[in-house]
Structure formats: structure tokens, C-alpha cells
Amino acid sequence: MVLTLSSRVGRSGAAISAQVDGQTVALDVNKGVCYGLNAVGTRIWDLLAAPLTVGEICAQLVSEYEVSLPECQAQTQALLEDLSREGLLLVAG
């Protein structure tokens, strides 16, 4: 699935997650698969607690990190598409 900046995304609820040393570990109990997210991935995961558009997530990240908007958009969309493929993301629009 290709996401756009206007795609509204949120956690699917397929995984339980916890933070360990500033990073998120998510476990999909049904698949028996564990996912690890680095510090920025963890921040994105936190933002996904309430549905937001990809553009809103990127705007928040650009305000918090030293990253250009185009780079942020590309990397955020890549992570979100990975999460979607794994069934960890709900996408509307």
C-alpha cells in the first residue's frame, strides 16, 4: 500500500507494545512475531496512538528533530508502509 501525506493512520491493535530502554518492542501475539523500533520509530509509534495523517506526523517530527521535510516524509512513509504490511497499522484515506 502506498501512503500519501493525507492518509490517516493509527495503530491496528494487532500487537501489544512496551518501551525498553527508550525503544519500542511490539509483539503480534497471533503471528508470534516481535518487532523492534528505534528511538524515532518509537516516537512515530507513540504518535500513532491517536489517528493522524502522515503529513501531521511528519510536521511533528520535523519540529522535534533536525531533519528536512522531504527526508522525514520519505522515511516516515517507508516505516508506515512496513507497519501496514505487517498488519500493525490501520489506514483510512
pLDDT tens figures, 23-59: 999 998 888 899 999 999 999 999 999 999 999 999 9
Q: Is the pLDDT of residue 93 over 70?
A: no
The dihedral through the CA atoms of 14, 81, 67, 53 has a sign that is negative
Residue type, position 19, single letter: Q
Distance of CA 24 to the CA centre of its chain: 11
Average pLDDT over residues 12-23: 89
Average pLDDT over residues 4-20: 91
- What the block records as the C-alpha cell of 65 is 528533530
Spell out the domains of the chain, with CATH numbers in brackets.
Answer: 8-92 (3.90.930.60)
